[in-house]
Amino acid sequence: MTKNMTTGSPVRLIIGFAIPMFLGMLFQQFYSMVDTMIVGQYLGVHPLAGVGSTSSLNFMVIGFCMGVCNGFAIPVAQMFGADDERRLRRFVTNSAWLCVGFSVVMTLLVVVLCKPVLRLMNTPAEIFDYAYLYIVIIFWGIPCTFLYNLLAGIIRSLGDSKTPVVFLAISSMLNIMLDVVSILVFHMGVEGPALATVISQGVSGLICLLYMKKKYPILHTSREEWKMDATYMKHLCFMGIPMGLQYSVTAIGTLVLQAAINGMGAAVVAGVTAAQKINAFIACPIEALGQTMAPYTGQNMGAGKIDRIGKGLQDAALVGFLMSALCFLTAFLVGDRLVLLFLDAKETEIIAYAYHFLLYCTGFYFLLTLVNTVRFTIQGMGFSVFAIISGVMEMVARVLAAVVVAGKFGFVGICLAHPMAWLFADIFLVPAFFYCRRKIVKNISEEDRKMPSKELIPASCHK
Q: Give pLDDT tens digits for 305-326.
A: 888 999 999 999 999 999 999 9
Contacts 24+ apart (CB under 8 A), 125-131: 126/46, 126/266, 127/46, 127/47, 127/49, 127/50, 127/53, 127/266, 127/269, 128/50, 129/50, 130/46, 130/47, 130/49, 130/50, 130/51, 130/189, 130/190, 131/50, 131/51, 131/53, 131/54
Q: 0.85 exceeded by the pTM?
A: no
User: What are the structural domain ranges in the chain?
Assistant: 10-462
Each residue's pLDDT tens digit, 63-74:
899 999 989 999
Model pLDDT, residue 454: 44
Range of lowest pLDDT (23-32, 175-184, 282-291): 23-32
Model pLDDT, residue 444: 63
Sign, CA dihedral 282-244-373-204, equals negative
Q: Is 291 helix (H, G, I), strand (E, B) or coil?
A: helix
- Alpha-carbon distance of 60 to 57, in angstroms, equals 5
Q: Which residue has the higher pLDDT, 61 or 452?
A: 61
DSSP code of 305? Answer: -
Each residue's pLDDT tens digit, 162-209:
888 888 888 888 888 898 888 888 888 889 889 988 998 899 899 889
Beta carbons of 30 and 192 less than 8 angstroms apart: no
Q: How confident is the model at residue 38 (pLDDT cuts 50, 70, 90)?
A: confident
Each residue's pLDDT tens digit, 210-239:
888 888 888 888 989 999 999 999 999 988
Q: Angle CA(136)–CA(141)–CA(142) in degrees, nearest 5?
A: 100
Which residues neighbour 117 within 8 Å (Cβ) at sequence distance 6 or greater? 57, 255
Radius of gyration from C-alpha coordinates of the chain: 21
Which of the residue ranges 1-10, 94-103, 237-246, 353-362 has the most confident prediction, judged by mean pLDDT? 94-103
CA distances from 430 to 253, 305, 317, 437 (A): 21, 20, 12, 11
Which of the residue ranges 24-38, 262-276, 424-438 has the most confident prediction, judged by mean pLDDT? 424-438
CB atoms within 10 A of CB 346: 8
pLDDT at 455 over 70: no
- Alpha-carbon distance of 323 to 331, in angstroms, equals 12
Closest listed residue to residue 283, CA positions, set 248, 235, 331, 211: 331
Tell me how far the alpha carbon of residue 392 is from its chain's centroid: 17
